[in-house]
Amino acid sequence: MTQVLPIVQQQEMPRHQKKQRRLSVSQIVPIGFGIVIAVAGIATTITEVSKANLKQAQATAEQGFKVKELLGLVEKDIVDAETGQRGYIITGVDTYLEPYESGRKFLQEHLTGLKTLIIDPNQRTRVDKIEPLIQQKFAELEETINLKKAGKDKEVLNLVLSNKGKEIMDDIRVKLLEMSQEQDKIVQQRQKASAQVQQVSSIISWGGLIVGIGSGVFVSYYVANYIARLIIGPITDAAKSVTSSSAGIAETVDNQERSVLDQTSSVHETTSTIEELGVFTLQSAEQADIAAGGAKQALLLAEGGTLTVGRTIEGISGLRDQVTTIANQIIRLSEQTGQISTVSELVADLANQTNMLALNAGVEAARAGEHGKGFAVVAGEIRKLADQSKKSADQINSLVNEVQAAINSTVMVTDEGTKKATMGIELTEETGDVFANIANSINQVFLSTQQIAQTSKHQAVTVQQVVAAMNAINLGAKETAAGIIQVKDATKELNKAAENLEAVV
């Protein structure tokens, strides 16, 4: 197809391409629809403004009605209070004061609501002027009630006949009426302004609709003329170009058909080779799994050896501690035998001294003659005991020396045993380190073998995917070949259609 495109592009140079000062479709369409959108936007904006003004006017009207309602309630509260005051003055019964109390109670609430609703400054000024009058009115009512309670009927009559309360009430009614009338004017002004905005909005909406329709008609007309003027000519040229290039397209399609058939054969051979590669990859994955199992078993054995070495180290350490304890006990025994030797020497020394004393006693007994015979016998016995004590002390010294020699030998043996136990611990720890290194190495081998197995499995999956892709390519190549045949037929039909189009245009 790439061989035909340059020919078509060369033949698609329309003779109608002349430099003309006119708007194109790409220019007139955005301008026309831009006008429509702008008009629609303006109309929408004005409509929204009109809605907002209408809502504001409705809110103002509702506010005005509420203000008028509150004004009426304020007047009603004052009238109720005045009614209660008159009933009490006439009857002197406290129950007649209930309207007075309720009017006084609700009046403050209604005045507060009135101040909250009123926005107009003039109306606020009128409220500020009414409040002192209301206070004066209630002061007058309260004064008459207090006088009535005090039994001063004459003063009550004089105060009522003075018309002070009536004058205050008339002023209040006048100002409330002024406020009500002013509120009506405010509502009417807002409603009038809202009606004007609605009228303008309606005019602009209809005008926008007319302008939008006109713009749409103009754009449609201009585009239709542009198409009729600039597109039919190129269609004629394109029909001629299609007619002249259909032969080249047919030749190109024949070449592509042969290429696709060759490609189908190559893809089939490649698919067979990749399938064999997939079988080899699966076998490699199985062998890697077997190797990983052996490495895992060796790792378990190495870990068991490491645990055994650890227990051996613990046993030798305990033996070394026991030997050290025995050595310490032997040292204490040596110290005790030394003390025994000292005591034995002391006993021998005492025996010698006793023997000397017995000898001296025998000499003195001999000098004493007949009177010293008993003493001589005692001295002889003492000498015998001294001799026996000396012999026993010598035997003890001999035994102590033998024990001391044995203790020294035992100390040397235990010291040697401690050293050998320490060396055994060091050798066992080195053996444990060797086992740990072996376990780490086997673990690395296991992990590497496992990684190889996973990689082989992934490769097998990838190869299967490649096989599937090659099968898809093979199927696509076959479909492409069939499509090319259809393109050949379509090219012939296109050639006929181009000839018919050229004849019609």
User: Of 209, 230, 251, which marks where a domain is finished?
Assistant: 230
**DSSP letter (8 states) at residue 150:** T
Q: Which residues contact 96 (CB under 8 A, 6 or more apart)?
A: 84, 87, 88, 90
pTM for this prediction: 0.34
Q: Which domain holds residue 195?
A: 24-230
pLDDT at 36: 65
**Residue 15 in domain:** no
- CA atoms of 429 and 130, how far apart (whole Å): 107
The reply to whether 268 and 250 lie within a common domain is yes
Domain count, the chain: 2
**Residue 13 in domain:** no
The reply to whether 207 and 264 lie within a common domain is no
User: Of 163, 198, 230, which marks where a domain is finished?
Assistant: 230
**Residue 6 in domain:** no
The DSSP secondary structure of 331-350, one letter per residue, reads HHHHHHHHHHHHHHHHHHHH
User: Of 180, 198, 230, which marks where a domain is finished?
Assistant: 230
**Residue 10 in domain:** no
The reply to whether 117 and 192 lie within a common domain is yes
The reply to whether 279 and 409 lie within a common domain is yes
The reply to whether 136 and 209 lie within a common domain is yes
pLDDT at 19: 46
The reply to whether 186 and 271 lie within a common domain is no
The reply to whether 254 and 153 lie within a common domain is no
- CA atoms of 31 and 224, how far apart (whole Å): 16
The reply to whether 224 and 243 lie within a common domain is no
**Residue 206 in domain:** yes
- CA atoms of 32 and 409, how far apart (whole Å): 122
**Residue 5 in domain:** no
Contact 100, 146 (CB under 8 A): no
Q: What are the pLDDT tens digits along the chain (505 aa)? A: 444 444 334 444 444 444 455 666 566 667 766 776 876 677 677 667 666 766 766 666 677 778 888 888 988 888 988 898 888 888 888 888 888 888 888 888 888 888 888 888 888 888 888 889 888 889 888 888 888 888 888 888 888 888 888 888 888 888 889 888 888 888 788 778 767 767 776 787 677 668 767 766 666 666 556 655 655 555 566 556 656 656 666 676 676 667 666 767 766 777 777 777 677 677 777 776 787 787 678 778 878 877 887 887 888 788 778 868 877 887 887 788 778 878 777 877 887 888 888 788 778 878 877 877 777 788 788 878 888 887 887 888 888 788 778 878 877 877 887 888 788 788 878 877 877 887 787 788 778 777 877 877 777 788 778 778 778 777 777 777 777 777 777 777 777 776 776 665 5
**SS percent in the chain: helix, strand, coil, step 5:** 95, 0, 5
pLDDT at 201: 65
- Which of 233-265 are b and which e, b meaning 16 or more Cβ less than 10 Å from the residue's Cβ? ebebbbbbbbbebbebbbebbeebbeebeebbe
The reply to whether 156 and 74 lie within a common domain is yes
pLDDT at 5: 41
Provide the CATH number for the domain around residue 192: 1.20.120.1730
The reply to whether 111 and 77 lie within a common domain is yes
**Residue 3 in domain:** no
Phi and psi at residue 151, to the nearest 5°:
80, 20
**Residue 7 in domain:** no
Tokens of 452: 């190889």
- CA atoms of 260 and 486, how far apart (whole Å): 14
The reply to whether 60 and 144 lie within a common domain is yes
The reply to whether 366 and 491 lie within a common domain is yes
